[in-house]
Structures are given as C-alpha cells and as structure tokens.
Amino acid sequence: VILYLIPKAMMKWLCIHGTGSSAAIFQDQLTAITSKLEPHGHTFEFINGPFPSKPAAGISLRYPTGPYYTWWTESNPAAIRAACTNLHAHFQAHSTPYDGIIAFSRGCLLVSAYIHLHQTLYPSDPLPFRTATFLCGGPVLSLISDLGVPVSATAKEWDKRTKIALRERASNAAILKYGKDRWLTPGR
C-alpha cells in the first residue's frame, strides 16, 4: 500500500531506529520497502542513537553481534528534550532538508517529541521534513504529563500493562517457545 501512496519522485528519507537497535539493523528490517523505492530515486539515511544499549527484546536472536543503541538512557522529559536537541543539531548540520522520516518504536517517540518541541520553540520555522511515518510507536506519558496534558490513572495502567506484555511477547524465550504464535495468546 505504501508504494502507491508515495509519489514516484526522488525523496530523501531519514530513518530512525528504536532503542536496542541500530542504523544497520533498521536498514536490514526496512529492505522490503527501500528496495522498491530506491529505483524511483528515493534515498535513505539511517543514523545511530548516541548511546550504547542492550539489545531490544528478541533482537539478539537475529542480530546477535549488535551493536545496539538508544536515543536516551533515562525516560524522563529532560533526557527526551536533550535527544530532541541532538536531532535538531543533526538537521542543522544537513543543508538539504529531508522529505520524510521513517521512525520505529522509540524513534517514533523521539520524532513526535521533536515535532512538538520544534513547534513550541520555533513556531515560525518549518519543520526540517515534510512527512513522518511512525512504525510501532507509542506515547511517553511522562513527557505528555510534563507538558500539562492530563493523563488518567487508567491510561497509566494500560501503558504499564502493554509494556510488560510487549517485553514478554518479544523476548527471546517467547520467540523460541511460541514463534509467530506468541502474538495470538491473550495477555494478562
């Protein structure tokens, strides 16, 4: 479906991996998409997070040697803002803006936080990209709350439960025991 939605013109994409992954891993994971778009002039730049990390759940089975990176080491608003500052510096270092961003998991959190902070800090400046594609991303409730948006106890509980379920289902043990069927069993 994505192949029909994207114009057949040259587009420059920035690709941002999730935590416990890397530019090389994300590039491998997106090969099915990038291989169809590159013949039409699309280019893809994959960048690494600045901090070494442990592998994400299940990632070491396919990519045992890493290396693995993350965009921040603590999940708090100050660390996320610092990551946004680093991303902004990356944009400033590249004179040609990106047409789009493809982000996965924590990369989605980084880009969505960046969009919000950019609109707050530089409201008259356009974003350094025209579109964003988010894959498997979710909110950082601590950041949302810090921005003054009320977060209910129910939302916090569901956030906690889904994070636990994801860690359990994406773990090496679950992959080895259940394979693709690990997503079919009910959670807690």
Alpha-carbon gap, residue 24 to 29, rounded angstroms: 9
Distance of CA 28 to the CA centre of its chain: 15
Identify the CA nearest to 73 among candidates 117, 106, 113.
106
21 and 102 in a single domain? The answer is yes
Q: What is the pLDDT of residue 188?
A: 47
Q: What is the pLDDT of residue 165?
A: 78
Q: Please indicate, yes or no, if residue 43 is contained in any of the structural domains.
A: yes
Burial pattern 65-104, b for ≥16 Cβ within 10 A else e, equals: ebebbbbbeeeebebbbbbbeebbeebeeeeeebbbbbbb
Tell me how many domains the chain contains. 2
Q: What is the pLDDT of residue 7?
A: 54
Q: Please indicate, yes or no, if residue 23 is contained in any of the structural domains.
A: yes
Q: Please indicate, yes or no, if residue 144 is contained in any of the structural domains.
A: no
pTM of the model: 0.81
96 and 170 in a single domain? The answer is no
Per-residue pLDDT of the chain (188 residues; tens, 9 = 90+): 455 555 556 899 999 999 999 999 999 999 999 999 999 899 999 999 999 999 998 898 899 999 999 999 998 889 999 999 999 999 999 877 899 999 999 999 999 999 988 998 899 999 999 999 999 887 778 777 776 778 899 988 988 888 787 777 777 777 777 777 766 665 54
Instruction: Please report, for the domain that includes residue 85, its CATH number.
Output: 3.40.50.1820
Q: Please indicate, yes or no, if residue 146 is contained in any of the structural domains.
A: no
Distance of CA 89 to the CA centre of its chain: 18
84 and 169 in a single domain? The answer is no
134 and 157 in a single domain? The answer is no
Domain range for 167: 152-188
90 and 171 in a single domain? The answer is no
Beta carbons within 8 Å of 135's beta carbon, 6+ residues apart: 102, 103, 104, 105, 108
